[in-house]
Structure 1
Amino acid sequence: MTDRLHKDAVRALRSWNAPDLDQDLLRRDYLDHLRTREDGVWRSCRPAHITASALVVDVERGRVLLTLHPKVGRWLQLGGHCEPEDSTLAAAALREAVEESGIEAGLALFPADDPAPVRLDRHAVRCAGKDQPENTHLDVQYLVVAPAGAREQISEESLDLRWFGFDALPELTDGSVRELVARAQKLLG
């Protein structure tokens, strides 16, 4: 399994057409990381590792589902670390979306026929604990579409979970999330 997820991460990043130069430079950095680290998709990889996240969108109502992250204290997209059962990065992002949203049926990666990253974001975190040094998440962000009438249910991984209009994000929203929402709007038309 380990090798399969690593290979998929390389495939997904190699085939992704970054929307701008900064995103392409990040894409290349992620690929360099994976080239030098066979364990590069796992939480145990230090000082950096790949993560997968999902912006859950209700296209019909023009809104996104965000979580108030307990460690960060900001509204973020759903996501986290890759797990051994994940066969692809897209599958990891979808799993995280299901787990953290509580929406058990109907979430779908976008585009459905060939899910591709929407955006990349590199950020420092303390995912190993307060007494451990910071490491870096190399986040690969996907777009996930919620079915009509989807009902979220808060999980133990967040302080709150709410829908926000594309143009009505809360004050405590990370800048990278704002960029992700803008990119999603552009892709969805």
Structure 2
Amino acid sequence: MSLHADAVSVLSRFAGQDALREAYLGFLAAREDACQRSCAAGHITASALVLDATGSSALLTLHPRVGRWLQLGGHCEPTDSTLAGAALREASEESGIRGLRIEPTPIHLDVHPITCSLGVPTRHFDVRFLVRAPVGARPVRSAESVDLQWWPLDALPSNVDDLYPLIESALARLR
């Protein structure tokens, strides 16, 4: 199965955010290249909210281009065959943590404007997954991050207002 076909399948089964889910599916139906970074109109991305083993802290990255604390994730690569696999690959690369476990069903969707590596304004159709770190996991910052650290869910940095719906979705999944 191709990444595009996986994205259609995963989003067709996604429960919640109905209007946004339908917009994603419409975009995928209109663009065979919707999962490729080269799609200048916008592209599907995959991200991961990495929680520690207790579910009380989130691993966030201080993104160099955006200048804000964000969940881990990014562009799908030609070698990715599933959205969950892309999210897990990104989380592993950006955290340096081995043994991450991903919930295969997305927990949240978000579309946001961004000027990414293409150098022109575009949109990311982000599909967000819940990832759990093993006990005692220690992240190692990659070159894709200015900083990387665990934040208690009840003491997040001040500029993460847009992450609260994602965190609420993750906590609902854990219940």
5+ residue gaps, structure 2: none
| AA aligned opposite 1:168 | A
Aligned residues with identical type, % of pairs: 54
| AA aligned opposite 1:147 | P
Partner deviation per Cα, 1:8-66 (whole Å, 9 max, x = no partner): 00000001111xxxx21111000000001000000001211100000000141611000
Answering whether residue 135 of structure 2 is matched by residue 148 of structure 1, we say yes
| Equivalent position to 2:10, from 3, 9, 12 | 12
Pairwise mapping of residues 1-189 of structure 1 onto structure 2 (< 5 A)? 4-18=2-16, 23-60=17-54, 62-103=56-97, 105-110=98-103, 115-128=104-117, 132-173=119-160, 175-189=161-175
Contact in 2 for aligned 1:52/1:141 (Cα 8 Å):
yes
After the TM superposition, which segments of 4 or more aligned residues of structure 1 sit over 2 Å from their partners?
Answer: none
Partner deviation per Cα, 1:53-104 (whole Å, 9 max, x = no partner): 000001416110000000111100000000011110000000000000010x
TM-score, normalised with respect to structure 2: 0.96
RMSD over aligned Cα, in angstroms?
1.2
| AA aligned opposite 1:91 | G
C-alpha change, 1:51 and 1:77, in structure 2 (3 Å) is same
| AA aligned opposite 1:6 | H
Q: Count how many residue pairs are aligned between Structure 1 and Structure 2.
A: 175
